[in-house]
Structure 1
Amino acid sequence: MSILVTGSTGIIGTQVLDHLKDSGAGLRALTRSPARAHFPAGVTPVQGELADVDGLRRAMQGVSTLFLLAPVAADEFTQSLQALSIAREAGVRGIVYLSVFKGDEYVDVPHFSCKRTAERMIEAFDMPATILRPAYFMQNDVRQKEPMQQQGIFGMPIGSKGISMVDVRDIGDAAARELLRRERSDVPLPSETYALVGPDAITSASVAAIWSEALGREVQYGGDDLDRFESYMKTMTTPWLAYDMRLMLQRYQQDGAVASAAEIERFSQLLGRAPRNYREFARATASEWRGK
């Protein structure tokens, strides 16, 4: 039996595999291009993708535990539900599903609603799963390197309400812990849900102050202009995804995404330590930039 990791070459999948690599568990990584993929020793590449039903059926054979990460795609809804159905058909006895923080509230954000619907399927069929709900990734802000270093501007319009941003390394750690717990159990385990969140609520004011300190220069928040953000995103991705991201940031600006003390404590218990905070991330990132 083995653990199958989907999204294996992305920012989260690579973290999951890195945390699993010395566990002794049988590890498979789903990838479109096994010949070009570079995985840790002991990880078996398996050709396939969530949109390929027949390939996914082959990949699920002999799998006991599944890490399911569906991409933010136009057909994410279909990919997620098909993958869960195929897992049921294959007799997978443990699932760790990567959802999103506030998915039950941000119903107007397409990729949030897709993930919440997948959660509903897990609940409806009483599937033995751990649902992980990560907040905005700290590492998203690495893309702000050029505007911060060259113009002194932090350009992501996150608003002033606050977001409990999470470090992707903590997501990988949490996912690996739950995958191994389920893989090593002799019986299917009850479902669990965790909010994967940082200990601080990062706002437009605090993010500028943190980066000013980390970079040793003044950094200002670039403002809440969502028209400008959407236009910029359209230069890099599809219009539908640019609009999806706009809707997400609109909700961040209107309502925030701040975790409760209980949610932070529960995540800490899963990790066995406090989650990383944004200031640590910014300091380490700025130090890395200076070293290049």
Structure 2
Amino acid sequence: MTVLVTGATGTVGRQVVHHLLERGGKVRALTRDPARAALPYGVEVVAGDLTDVAGLEAAFDGVTAVHLINFGVGYRPLANGPDIVALAERAGVGRATVLGGWQEGTLEPAVRASGLEWTFLQPTQFMANFVNDWGESLRTTGRVREPYGDRQSPPVDEHDIGAVAAAVLTQGGHGGRSYHLTGPEVLTARRMVAILAEATGRDLRFEELTPDEVRREWSTPDRRPPLALFRAFAEIEGADEADMVESLLRIYGTPNPFATRLTGDVEQVVGRPPRTFAQWAAEHARHFVPADAR
């Protein structure tokens, strides 16, 4: 059984590869730059890009299951979903997981209409995003300066997302399901900074900005923090700088019952509870400590 992992060098893709190897599977990894993939021994690394299926026949050849991502460069939803699905079906792929992105594109409807045994994975906020979102600020100033410190989310460890994908791809029995993957607890942004402080032994604090302070301080890209949401907004054609800030304020400031709802989907699939933010913080504490203090 050969499983093809697309986006194999990404945050989740690497975890999918890891868990498939643990299960003893044969893994083929698709990446745009195999020379820089740095994947474990035993993984077959092939060059390719999902945004252009021309030349991907060899990557799909002999594959029985595939882990797909619904976005290409810059988190843009794929525009060629039907082509990808047609290639998979011609290759005889039987099972597929689809990792959702910021919004649905052409891949999801093509997968639903296909003969594949498909499963959608819809994680909440990735714990890994905090390395990019907060890492530099906490390393250099010990502060996170953002609005709405009491906003809530149940962040999920990328390790658990990979474990779910690997289980679905190798075990089967999950066809036609959509899994909303969450961590085990709903946390505020303020509480997550406090957990990072405990993990690092540093005085880390959340300083809440008012919406007007955000508009003033984040009005230009060079003053804006490297938040994942901004990276996604920046890829929208014709996105206005002021609109991007207002969109983030709306997302952070508007309660979203669906986004904050805990599910048992991780435990249902892998047979254990999802990992806590405190566990993740302890393992990644080095990202929030100055280099000379590690």
In the superposition, the TM-score normalised over structure 2's length comes to 0.78
Whether the 8 Å CA contact 1:2–1:27 is kept in 2: the answer is yes
Q: 1:40 to 1:218 in 2, by over 3 A?
A: closer
In the alignment, which of 208, 213, 230 is matched to residue 193 of structure 2? 208
**Aligned-residue offset at 1:218:** 4.2
**Aligned-residue offset at 1:289:** 5.2
In the alignment, which of 158, 181, 192 is matched to residue 196 of structure 1? 181
Q: 1:289 to 1:7 in 2, by over 3 A?
A: same
Whether the 8 Å CA contact 2:183–2:274 is kept in 1: the answer is yes
**Aligned-residue offset at 1:83:** 2.0
Moved more, 224-233 or 249-258: 224-233
Structure 2 unmatched runs, 5+: none
**Aligned-residue offset at 1:61:** 1.7
The answer on 1:113 being equivalent to 2:104 is yes
Whether the 8 Å CA contact 1:166–1:198 is kept in 2: the answer is yes
Moved more, 43-52 or 80-89: 80-89
The answer on 1:253 being equivalent to 2:253 is yes
Structure 1 unmatched runs, 5+: 101-110
CA distance in 1, matches of 2:122, 2:204: 33
Moved more, 161-170 or 52-61: 52-61
Amino acid at match of 1:89: R
1:43-58 superposed matches below 5 A = 43-58=43-58
1:146-225 superposed matches below 5 A = 146-155=136-145, 160-182=150-172, 190-215=175-200, 216-223=202-209, 225=214
- Corresponding residue SS for 2:56: helix
Higher helix share: 1
CA distance in 1, matches of 2:112, 2:278: 36
**Aligned-residue offset at 1:15:** 1.1
Amino acid at match of 2:137: P
Q: Once superposed, what is the RMSD of the aligned Cα atoms? A: 3.2
The answer on 1:267 being equivalent to 2:258 is no
Amino acid at match of 2:43: V
CA distance in 2, matches of 1:155, 1:175: 34
Match of 2:123 in 1: 134
Match of 1:277 in 2: 276
CA distance in 2, matches of 1:126, 1:158: 44
Same amino acid, percent of matched pairs: 31
Whether the 8 Å CA contact 2:123–2:161 is kept in 1: the answer is yes
Match of 2:114 in 1: 125
CA distance in 1, matches of 2:220, 2:111: 33
